């Protein structure tokens, strides 16, 4: 590779799993400096980096399959050009499986575990014989409309089904000043910031400075150019009346969108899960709606957890029907090695898990469509993300109660003479609702 001031290395990246992984990759690319140029395919790359997820078995399988695909592409590139790109594997899968993974995949040139995340740039530079350069801002890989702001690392809860604390370690927050500075760079390019962390309500609890989520939200709200502030992963126990009152008084740019990972509704199952909040999740829902009557609520549920009976599941169905979440994700329980839940005797058969998932999602599909129907005829703000590849004059965007990558979208039709600008929020008259998406006109 070329040395000195003309050194350029092409880097192909894949980020799997949650948005927090994506932020790690984007921060890494910024830290590597201008000498590292992102490319779209392995055959263009000097370095192919896969940032993996190892949270549950399907994610592990996806990560392994992606690694194998990149290794294959790297080998084909070597056959065609005589030069093989370096293959680096980073993230949760490496931290979880360590030496076993290395033994199985000797074709990987560089392994980067999460405990050494601060060393990743130096390790990559060394592998590429690259010079040290000044950091550049994060290199966004999202649509030019939003950016994730990862505010903490790890988790200090002890949920019995979860591998995150063993993979990522205990909860660690970045200071408010650091995050506001990073966000100030991001809003030069995007109008929406989405706060993410394993538990965003725990932000700052580990900092001697006294920084907390309220101070962070207040600092972010003052940024010029920030139009939407969305906070994800709000644990129920952290949604206190004090915090909700603060968010209500803050107003714009905060969006009244509450992503609350409940995981279940029956007190027996919640207790068995070791969930860190009150046994009755209705209390937190009522609390949120007392401050934000028109809030959009999102949650995730696990079905088929060890010991979940049909009675427990029916309780969960009734809770979902009564609460009427805007958005609901349902996951069958996966027994993960090393977790207390995996060692429980009363495992639920896979076919029962999948049947329960289907029943709950069928219920939610009807609820979602009914909720979206209430917006037909209204004019809603929509953040335009991209032109539709299927139809000229059709654009894909999101309104305030649609988070990217996990919720539905809003399709926007514009007259032929009107070209909508990506990353702009415009008023859209909603004309149609489907199960998860809206359609409207400019």
Residue 49 β-bridge partners:
13, 88
Same-domain pairing of 240 and 365: yes
Dist CA 135 CA 148 (whole Å): 19
Dist CA 128 CA 427 (whole Å): 48
Per-residue confidence (pLDDT) for residue 37, from 0 to 100: 87
Same-domain pairing of 245 and 316: yes
For residue 79, being part of any structural domain is answered with yes
Checking if the pLDDT of 5 tops 60, the result is no
Q: 225 and 160 in contact (C-beta within 8 Å)?
A: no
Domain's final residue, options 96, 128, 160: 128
Q: How many domains, the chain?
A: 3
Per-residue confidence (pLDDT) for residue 32, from 0 to 100: 85
For 269-309, write each residue's pLDDT tens digit.
Answer: 999 999 876 578 999 999 999 999 999 999 999 999 999 99
Checking if the pLDDT of 311 tops 90, the result is yes
For residue 137, being part of any structural domain is answered with no
Same-domain pairing of 298 and 387: no
Checking if the pLDDT of 388 tops 50, the result is yes
Mean pLDDT of the chain: 93
Domain's final residue, options 355, 373, 391: 373
CATH classification at residue 217: 3.80.30.20
Q: What integer is the mean pLDDT of 339-365?
A: 96
pLDDT band, very low/low/confident/very high, at 35 (cuts 50, 70, 90): confident
Same-domain pairing of 267 and 353: yes
Q: What integer is the mean pLDDT of 124-153?
A: 89
Same-domain pairing of 210 and 282: yes
Task: State how far Cα 292 lies from the chain centre.
Answer: 24
The more confidently predicted of residues 122 and 132 is 122
Checking if the pLDDT of 1 tops 70, the result is no
* Most confident listed range (11-20, 25-34, 298-307, 330-339): 298-307
For residue 364, being part of any structural domain is answered with yes
Dist CA 407 CA 224 (whole Å): 27
Per-residue confidence (pLDDT) for residue 278, from 0 to 100: 56
**What radius of gyration do the chain's Cα atoms show?**
23
Q: 401 and 257 in contact (C-beta within 8 Å)?
A: yes
In terms of phi and psi (left: phi > 0; alpha: psi -120 to 50; beta: otherwise), the region of 75 is alpha
Q: Where are the beta strands (DSSP E) in 273-378?
A: 296-303, 327-332
Domain's final residue, options 373, 388, 410: 373
Q: Rounded to a whole number, what is the distance in angstroms from the first to the last CA of the chain? A: 51
Q: Cβ-count burial of 392 within 10 angstroms (0-12 exposed, 13-18 middle, 19+ buried)?
A: exposed
Q: Which domain holds residue 232?
A: 146-373
Q: Where are the beta strands (DSSP E) in 124-225?
A: 146-150, 152-153, 172-173, 192-196
Q: Tell me the percentage of the chain whose pLDDT exceeds 90.
A: 79
Checking if the pLDDT of 22 tops 90, the result is yes
Dist CA 10 CA 96 (whole Å): 28
Same-domain pairing of 414 and 296: no
Per-residue confidence (pLDDT) for residue 7, from 0 to 100: 77
Same-domain pairing of 350 and 420: no
Query: φ, ψ for residue 113 (rounded to 5)?
Result: -95, 165
Checking if the pLDDT of 368 tops 60, the result is yes
SS (H, E, C) 243-267: HHHHHHHHCCCECCEEECCCECCCH
CATH classification at residue 18: 3.40.50.12160
Same-domain pairing of 365 and 389: no
Residue 430 β-bridge partners:
440
Parallel/antiparallel/unpaired status of strands 146-150 and 192-196:
parallel
Per-residue confidence (pLDDT) for residue 390, from 0 to 100: 83
Dist CA 368 CA 379 (whole Å): 19
CATH classification at residue 424: 2.40.50.140
For residue 433, give Cα distances in angstroms to 212, 262, 326, 410, 411. 39, 27, 13, 9, 10
Dist CA 295 CA 87 (whole Å): 45
Checking if the pLDDT of 77 tops 60, the result is yes
- Say what the pTM is: 0.92
Same-domain pairing of 360 and 436: no
Q: Is the peptide bond before 394 cis (omega within 30 degrees of 0)?
A: no
Same-domain pairing of 357 and 421: no
Same-domain pairing of 42 and 56: yes
Same-domain pairing of 391 and 359: no
For residue 138, being part of any structural domain is answered with no
Q: What integer is the mean pLDDT of 418-422?
A: 90
Checking if the pLDDT of 354 tops 60, the result is yes
Per-residue confidence (pLDDT) for residue 14, from 0 to 100: 94
For residue 47, being part of any structural domain is answered with yes
Per-residue confidence (pLDDT) for residue 4, from 0 to 100: 47
Per-residue confidence (pLDDT) for residue 428, from 0 to 100: 97
């Amino acid at each position: 590779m070329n040395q000195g001031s003309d050194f350029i290395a092409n880097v192909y990246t894949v980020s799997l799993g949650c948005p927090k992984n994506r932020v790690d990759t984007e921060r890494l690319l910024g830290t590597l400096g201008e000498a590292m140029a992102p490319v779209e395919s392995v055959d263009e790359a000097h370095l192919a980096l896969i940032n993996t997820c190892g949270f549950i078995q399907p994610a592990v399988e996806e990560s392994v399959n992606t690694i194998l695909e990149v290794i294959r592409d790297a080998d084909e590139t070597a056959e065609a050009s005589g030069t093989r790109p370096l293959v680096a594997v980073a993230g949760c899968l490496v931290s979880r499986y360590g030496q076993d993974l290395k033994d199985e995949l000797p074709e990987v040139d560089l392994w980067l575990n999460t405990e050494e995340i601060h060393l990743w740039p130096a390790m990559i530079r060394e592998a590429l014989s690259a010079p040290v350069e000044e950091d550049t801002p994060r290199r966004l890989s999202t649509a030019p409309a939003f950016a994730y702001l990862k505010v903490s690392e790890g988790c200090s809860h002890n949920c019995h089904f979860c591998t995150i604390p063993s993979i990522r370690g205990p909860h660690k927050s970045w200071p408010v000043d650091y995050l506001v500075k990073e966000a100030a760079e991001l809003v030069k390019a995007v109008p929406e910031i989405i706060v993410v962390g394993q538990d965003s309500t725990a932000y700052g609890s580990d900092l001697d400075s006294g920084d907390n989520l309220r101070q962070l939200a207040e600092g972010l709200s003052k940024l010029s150019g920030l139009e939407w502030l969305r906070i994800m992963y709000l644990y129920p126990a952290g949604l206190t009346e004090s915090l909700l009152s603060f968010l209500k008084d803050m107003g714009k740019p905060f969006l009244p969108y509450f992503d609350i990972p409940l995981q279940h509704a029956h007190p027996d199952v919640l207790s068995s899960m070791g969930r860190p909040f009150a046994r009755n999740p209705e209390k937190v829902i009522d609390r949120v709606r007392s401050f934000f009557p028109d809030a959009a609520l999102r949650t995730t549920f696990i079905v088929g957890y060890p010991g979940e009976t049909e009675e427990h599941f029916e309780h969960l169905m009734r809770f979902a029907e009564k609460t009427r979440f805007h958005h609901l994700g349902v996951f069958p329980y996966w027994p993960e090695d090393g977790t207390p839940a995996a060692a429980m005797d009363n495992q639920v058969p896979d076919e029962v898990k999948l049947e329960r998932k289907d029943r709950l999602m069928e219920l939610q599909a009807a609820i979602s469509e009914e909720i979206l129907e209430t917006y037909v005829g209204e004019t809603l703000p929509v953040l335009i993300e991209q032109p539709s590849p299927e139809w000229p004059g059709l654009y894909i965007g999101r309104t305030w109660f649609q988070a990217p990558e996990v919720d539905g979208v809003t399709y926007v039709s514009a007259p032929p003479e009107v070209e909508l600008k990506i990353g702009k929020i415009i008023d859209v008259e909603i004309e149609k609702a489907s199960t998860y998406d809206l359609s409207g006109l400019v």
